[in-house]
Structure 1
Amino acid sequence: MTEKEKMLAGELYAPTDPDLVKERHAVRLLFHEFNSLSEKDLERRQKVLYKIIPDAGENLFIEPPFHCDYGSNIKAGKNLFMNFSCCILDVAEVTIGDNCMFGPHVQIYTATHPLEFKARNSGKEYAKPITIGDNVWIGGNATICPGVSLGNNVVVGSGAVVTKSFPDNVVIAGNPAKIIKTIDNS
């Protein structure tokens, strides 16, 4: 397997692999351009954004600055809004449903490292995919950790650290996040 195949399969891989470094560099050039374009260049900014995240549905809107590892591992539905300074470490696939909103400084991390120091010191890492359902609102400064799945209609409170998965129709908050309310969406 190539290092990229290992990465996408959730196995230990070498992030220093030249092909992976080249991919990350290419997307960094794109998000540097995206982040530097002014409001006057909104049409150009949108074109660059869809180059960064080619598998995004219609009405993708991200306030700069935005950062990610690859962009190509982000699968986004329609009507996605991300406020200022969001970061997605998309070493594994990040799937985002329709009609989602992210507050400022939302962090989504698929990347993780071995717990054992010898393995961690090897420089190898791995990742776990993240899935975010439809109609999810993630409050500012929330962090979504590797391997988490959020159901549909979930609200994540500001500053929450989401370390485990949650079902549909709940409000979660805290560190670590826990259910604080059920939402009646009937």
Structure 2
Amino acid sequence: MFFVRIRNYESRLSWVQRISPFCRLKVSRYGRLNLDYNIQIEAGSDIQVHENGVLHIGSRTYMNRYCMISVQNAVSIGDNCMFGPGVKIFDNNHCFSAQSGVSSELKTAPISIGNNCWIASDVVLLKGTVVGNNCVIGAGCVISGNIPDGTLVTQKKELQLKKIIDRV
């Protein structure tokens, strides 16, 4: 493990990482990034740790292509996790109202993902989410809230099939 200090922030990184040169990794002033041993992040991924945010990624975690993590508060990912392509993690969202619309002010809440989790393709994890250990989150799910240890989460989406009727 070694520490890196760049422009007023300090990050803890282990020596062995496999981070694609074609991913974006941005840590703002006072943000902290902690990467444990043997993490792999594929091309097209976008990881942003904003002011005072803290991101921890556990050992042997794999992020497939085009994953995005936006940290304003805190995101913690356990050991031995796998992320499918296009996973999005946001510990923040914009405040809004009917009178003034969307503002630049943010609401935040930490996100925690346990050990040995599989987060399948195109999953979105929203602020305040806690995923327990040994969980599988199925493709396309939008998650907010607590997911207990050892849970398989799927989202029921029904296909509607209709006969095409030629119209003249």
Tell me whether the two structures share a fold, i.e. TM-score over 0.5: yes
Aligned counterpart, 1:101: 82
Letter of the structure 1 residue corresponding to residue 105 of structure 2: K
Query: Following the alignment from structure 2 to structure 1, what is the Cα–Cα distance between the partners of residues 96 and 129?
Result: 18
Query: Following the alignment from structure 1 to structure 2, what is the Cα–Cα distance between the partners of residues 175 and 139?
Result: 15
Identity of aligned residues (%): 30
CA contact (8 A) 1:162 1:175 kept: no
Unmatched 5+ residue regions in structure 2?
1-6, 9-19, 158-168
Specify which of 122, 126, 130 is matched with residue 145 of structure 1: 126
Which is helix-richer, 1 or 2? 1
CA contact (8 A) 1:112 1:127 kept: yes
1:35 maps onto 2:14 in alignment? no
Aligned counterpart, 1:125: 106
Query: Following the alignment from structure 2 to structure 1, what is the Cα–Cα distance between the partners of residues 42 and 114?
Result: 21
Alignment of 1:65-84 (within 5 A): 65-70=44-49, 73-84=54-65
Which is strand-richer, 1 or 2? 2
Shift of 1:174: 1.2
Change over 3 Å in CA distance of 1:149–1:95 after alignment to 2: same
Shift of 1:121: 3.9
Shift of 1:117: 4.1
Letter of the structure 2 residue corresponding to residue 67 of structure 1: D
CA contact (8 A) 2:65 2:85 kept: yes
What TM-score, normalized to structure 2?
0.70
What TM-score, normalized to structure 1?
0.63
Query: Following the alignment from structure 1 to structure 2, what is the Cα–Cα distance between the partners of residues 157 and 101?
Result: 12
Deviations 1:43-86 (A, max 9, x none): xxxxx97x898401101101111112227621011001000000
Q: Which has the larger radius of gyration?
A: 2
CA contact (8 A) 2:139 2:154 kept: yes
Letter of the structure 1 residue corresponding to residue 21 of structure 2: F
Shift of 1:88: 0.3
